[in-house]
Every structure is written in C-alpha cells, then in structure tokens.
Amino acid sequence: MAASVCRVGTTVGRALAKNRSPILLSLRRGQSSVSYAQSLAGAPETRLTALDNGLRVASEETGHATCTVGLWISAGSRYENEKNNGAGFFLEHMAFKGTKKYPQTALEQQVESMGAHLNAYTSREHTAYYMKTLKKSFGKLRDRFSSDSSCTFDQQRGEVCLDLLHATAFQGTPLGQSVLGPSKNARSLTRENLVDYINSHYKAPRMVLAAAGGVNHEELVGLAKSNFSGISFEYEGDAVPVLSPCRFTGSDIRMRDDGFPLAHIAIAVEGASVTSPDIVPLMVANCIIGSYDLTYGGGKHLSSRLARLAVEANLCHSFQAFHSSYSDTGLMGIYFVTDKNSIEDMMHWSQNAWMNLCTTVTESDVTRGKNALKASLVGQLNGTTPICDDIGRHILNYGRRIPLAEWDARIDAVTANVVRDVCTKYIYDKCPAVAAVGPVEQLPDYNRMRSAMYWLRF
C-alpha cells in the first residue's frame, strides 16, 4: 500500500501540503507515521473574526472533502428558571421541525439532497446547532442557518428525567436543574415563554459561528454577515442575564429499584472551573484512574490499577473517571455500573484510588496519565465535527481556540507533586456527592462514604 500512495504527483502533493494534516501527508508520502511533535506543529490555524454586532466567526481549514458548520450559543439549563426550565432543550428539538421558509418535509428533503447530517445539543451552559456536509455544498448552507423558528409545540411534549448527580451536588441552584426540564414544564411551556428565552439569551456576543474541514474563512464570514448581522447585541433595561454562583452540597440521592439488573452509581467532589489552572492536573489524575469495560482486552495487565482490580475481583461491568467543567465550578467523579452485590467493594476501591492520588501517586503513574491524556486530546479531534465543536466551545469558554501545542506544554508541566497537591485540594477530606439508581441496597451509608475521603496516617 505504501508503494501505491507514493505515486501521487508532485503538483497534487504541494497542494495537499498547504491544507492537509501531517498524518495525512505521511500517508501520501509513503511514510509509516509522523512524530507527535510534528502532528502538533502542523495543526492548521484557527482563524477568528468578529462582526460589528459582536458575533464571532471561527474556522479551521483542513482540506477535508467534508465540512461541519454550526452555531454555538452561551445558553443552557443554567440560564433557565423554575418556570421555563427545559426551554433550551425544547428549542433544540424544534430546529428539526422546520421553519417558515422550510417546513419540516422540505427541510428534510433539502438536507437529504445535500447528503448532509443535521444535529444539535443542549448542555447546562451551551447550545449548539450544526450540520456536516460535503465541501461543495458549503454555499448552500446559507438559508439553513437562520434565526427563523416556527413549528408545532405539541410535537415536543414528552417525559423528562433528572440528572441526579447534579441535582444533589448543586441542589437549590440553577446548575442543579436538568437540561430536559421537569415533565410539567414540557406540557406547560408556551410560545411566549420560548420567545422570551430567545430574546434574553440568543444575543450576538454570546454566539459563535464555527466551521471546520473544507471551508473558506472569508466565505464563512460572508455567510455570517448575510444571516446574522441583524441579531441584536442590546438588552432591554437591566435584563442582562448574569449567572449566580452555584453552591456545592455534599449529599446523596438514591432511587432504589430492585427490578433493575445492575446498579448505576456516581460519586463526585466539586471540581475546577473550565478556566482554572488546576484543570490540567485534574485531567491527568482522571487519566491515571482511567476507565474500564467488560469488553476491554488486557485483563490483569491493564495500566489502570482500578481497572486491574475490577478484573481480578469482578468489581463492576464498567467504570469511568470524569470531570465536568463549568464557567465557575465543576464535578470530578467516578461513575460505575455494577452488580448489586459488588457495590460496597467497588465504592471502597474507587475512593481508595482517589486517596492514592492525594498521597502515594508516583512519577511513573503521572507519566502514564500524561501520555493517555495527550492521546485522548488528539484522538478526540478525529473528524470535522469534533473539531468544529472544539472550536465553538473554546471561543465561548476562553475567547480563543487553545491549540494542541499549548495543551501539550501545560500537560508536560504536571508532576507527581502537582497531582498530589491539586488532588488534595479538591478531594482529600471533602464531602462527596453521590447518586445511585437501581438495586442499591448495598450502597454504604453516606457517613461511611464521607469517612473514606481521608486516611488516618502518621
């Protein structure tokens, strides 16, 4: 195969060199691989332009045959109140029901004819609407991204569920609200509620038009000017939404149902905000704990100590260390799925893994975690859609796209002492939040779990 790809003409090769990533170039040139440093240095530039109304346009031209274009907005369930909780999620699903210019059937036919993929998501602080399509269809996206939304509200009625961990960890605060909203709101939301929500939060300075792949930045800016220049950047009176501080509460919530085959349990402490300098050491710490699933190979030879214990003692079906970061706080935790008779043991060893991070983590552990984190950051940007999502969220969170080379330098600066100090700051002798669903009778009493958050030592 190497011989066949080497026959690409020099003219084509020079053209590719302007746009392709080093990894793709290595395949074109018949090389087996490129170094990690080369892949970082060859990452395309992210270009950023601001319109007069404050809307930002950001893109990364990679030369792919496809492109992803979307709108990222600083709006989510944290900006909602008890009355309109679920409005953002409701609006997200309305996007697929068509507009005045393109009713649902026409919209579906247009998207299908372009060979495109239309999607959206709502989180606690962000909302995104995006489309992936062929490069040649980029110009046709102009009419699809408009601020017009009109559809039948009854189509969106449905049952919703609560995010239990956030509900107990941030109880009494907007961050504890579910993205879906309560079922009563899904039945009672009116057009006026949704229009008020849009007028309050869909403002140009809180929006980013992001694109990645086979895109031209100037053309994207033109698309933004023709479709979004009319979006207001002004608020009426004192209506500027300001996020209130969210208080973390150590607590637990249990929904016992012995009819479930497995127990789903999450334990978390308050983590770092998305802009905190502690975020990278905590990411390294989570990579040291790692993840596990029954489908993994390796068994007793897995690099994660907790994963090896899970295999040897049959502790769980799966587990995942996670860190959810928000503008001013976060949740760092471990989520696991296990048999009802293994809950206590899995909880014990999960908290034991946290204590090891605070006390006995070694340089070799940290080196392994750093390498895993670097591989994860690169691997997550595999395709135009995750790259576009990364651009949109970075511009909203940081005001710029943080390049991989900068992440790499921050990861390299982490040492075992840094991990111990930062993990002690966030984990050691802290009150955890715990959420459990299913046959959870064996879950320890909260006071026992709290007492396992420190070690008595000389």
Rounded CA-CA distance 302/310 in Å is: 10
**Collapsed DSSP state (helix, strand, coil) of residue 48:** strand
Q: Where is 413: in which H helix or E strand?
A: none
Distance (Å) of CA 363 to CA 31, 185, 201, 366, 407? 33, 51, 46, 5, 19
Q: How many CA atoms lie within 13 A of 356 on its CB side?
A: 18
Rounded CA-CA distance 176/166 in Å is: 5
Torsion angles phi and psi, residue 73, rounded to 5:
-130, 140
The set of catalytic residues is 92
Beta strands, E only, 294-422: 318-325, 330-338
- Domain membership flag for residue 35: no
Q: Which of 189-203, 205-219, 361-375 has the lowest mean pLDDT?
A: 189-203
Helical spans, DSSP H, in 29-117: 36-41, 87-94, 104-113
- Domain membership flag for residue 246: no
Predicted pLDDT at 298? 79
Residue 34 has pLDDT above 70, yes or no: no
Entry pTM: 0.84
Q: Are 270 and 247 in contact (CB under 8 A)?
A: no
Here the CATH number for the domain that contains residue 108 is: 3.30.830.10
**Structure confidence by residue, pLDDT tens digits, 416-446:** 999 999 999 999 999 999 999 999 999 999 9
Give how many domains the chain has, as a whole number.
Answer: 2
Q: Are 447 and 440 in contact (CB under 8 A)?
A: no
Q: Which of 229, 260, 295 delimits the end of a domain?
A: 229
Q: Are 102 and 119 in contact (CB under 8 A)?
A: no
- Domain membership flag for residue 138: yes
Is residue 112 very low, low, confident or very high in pLDDT (cuts 50, 70, 90)? low
Is residue 233 very low, low, confident or very high in pLDDT (cuts 50, 70, 90)? confident
Torsion angles phi and psi, residue 68, rounded to 5:
-120, 130
Q: Which of 196, 229, 262 delimits the end of a domain?
A: 229
- 259 with 371, same domain? yes
Q: Are 252 and 165 in contact (CB under 8 A)?
A: no
Domain that holds residue 425: 252-452
Which of the two residues, 422 and 6, has the higher pLDDT score?
422
